[in-house]
């Protein structure tokens, strides 16, 4: 039965410690928590983007672009020898599930393919070729590209349909492996929580936050290229995310839980109690040890030795974190 299965999203905000929480959850019986980021929900052209473009304010151009880009994303995620996701090593069962999800989405939305061109997928030379030799090449496959038609649905309907497809394939794997819960390592997923929590009606999100200056120092040590290293731009980015988090947490208070990395290390027992109240079904029986608080706590305050010049920004960044105290 799949009605006793669940999804829990682990949402880091970039080097905030979501991997530590994944290690912790993996200690419990019945919880399957792959260490790799899944990248299928919140990455551009992923499930949430697709749901938006298959509903309401859309057109054949938006539908075509979103379906083709989603298919390309799935190809990159499942065949990542080269390209933007070449370092992502997803388990084989997830790659198989992604392919099945793509197939079922096209089926459920009654997507019909035809060959065509428009400004966004062609150029003047290819378009003109259709009219050459008295239209002998008109709409031929080799000079035209796949375009898509779909049936109308609202955004909420699209989210619900996609969510049910995803859960069908993920929960099938849980049944096959005698597990009950998937803990999904999907960074920044909390920033899309309105869509995710509608897509998955019973899902919850745990977001891990951390001393912002340690985030800067740790990301710099790893060489994370996506992050702005100009300190003023970095702080601007952090303020934006925390503002989003406050708004989203206030509207989904029962389904979003915030964990501070420092508390997880220094006050482990109490943080476990808080987690058990939020996700009691997941933390029933601990069967192994992967997360070691005494080891992880060595990463707390590292900026003081590696980037001491950040001291001048301490008060400003602390104000960002303490803004969460307004939440209940």
Q: What is the pLDDT of residue 67?
A: 96
What local confidence, expressed as pLDDT, does residue 328 receive? Answer: 60
- Show the tokens assigned to 225: 């290229």
Q: Which pair of structure tokens corresponds to residue 212?
A: 């912002």
Which residues of the chain are under the pLDDT cut of 50?
Answer: none
Q: How far is CA 5 from CA 58, 60, 114, 151, 231, in A?
A: 34, 36, 38, 30, 43
User: 228-259 pLDDT, tens per residue?
Assistant: 999 999 999 999 999 999 999 999 999 999 99
Question: Can you give the pTM of this predicted structure?
Answer: 0.94
For residues 318 and 328, what is the distance between their CA atoms, to the nearest angstrom?
19
In contact, 65 and 38? CB cutoff 8 Å: no
Asked if residue 35 lies in contact with residue 183, where contact means CB atoms within 8 angstroms, the answer is no
Q: What does the pLDDT read at residue 198?
A: 97
What's the pLDDT at 2?
A: 64
Write out the H or E segment, with its range, that includes residue 313. Answer: none
Q: How confident is the model at residue 175, as a pLDDT?
A: 96
256 Rama class: left (phi>0) / alpha (psi -120 to 50) / beta: beta
């Amino acid at each position: 039965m799949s009605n006793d299965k669940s999804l829990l999203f682990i949402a880091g905000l970039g080097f905030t410690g979501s991997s530590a929480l994944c290690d912790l959850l993996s200690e419990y019986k019945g919880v399957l928590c792959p260490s790799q980021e899944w990248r299928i929900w919140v990455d551009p052209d992923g499930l949430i983007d697709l749901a938006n473009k298959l509903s309401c304010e859309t057109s054949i151009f938006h539908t075509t672009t979103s379906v083709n880009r989603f298919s390309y994303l799935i190809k990159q995620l499942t065949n990542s020898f080269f390209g933007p996701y070449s370092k992502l090593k997803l388990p084989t069962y997830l790659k198989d599930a992604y392919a099945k999800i793509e197939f079922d989405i096209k089926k459920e939305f009654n997507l019909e393919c035809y060959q065509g061109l428009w400004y966004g997928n062609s150029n003047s030379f290819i378009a003109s070729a259709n009219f050459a030799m008295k239209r002998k090449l008109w709409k031929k496959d080799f000079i035209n590209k796949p375009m898509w038609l779909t049936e109308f649905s609202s955004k909420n309907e699209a989210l619900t349909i996609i969510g049910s497809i995803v859960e069908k394939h993920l929960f099938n794997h849980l049944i096959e492996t005698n597990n009950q819960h998937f803990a999904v390592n999907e960074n920044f997923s909390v920033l899309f929580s309105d869509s995710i929590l509608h897509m998955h009606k019973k899902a919850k999100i745990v977001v891990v936050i951390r001393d912002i200056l340690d985030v800067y120092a740790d990301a710099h040590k790893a060489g994370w290229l996506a992050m702005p290293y100009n300190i003023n731009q970095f702080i601007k980015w952090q303020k934006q995310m925390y503002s989003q988090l406050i708004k989203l947490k206030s509207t989904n208070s029962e389904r979003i839980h915030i964990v501070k990395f420092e508390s997880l290390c220094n006050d482990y027992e109490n943080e476990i109690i808080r987690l058990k109240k939020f996700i009691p079904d997941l933390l029933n029986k601990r069967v192994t040890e992967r997360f070691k608080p005494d080891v992880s706590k060595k990463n707390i305050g590292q900026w003081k030795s590696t980037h001491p010049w950040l001291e001048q920004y301490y008060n400003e960044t602390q104000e960002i974190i303490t803004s969460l105290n307004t939440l209940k």
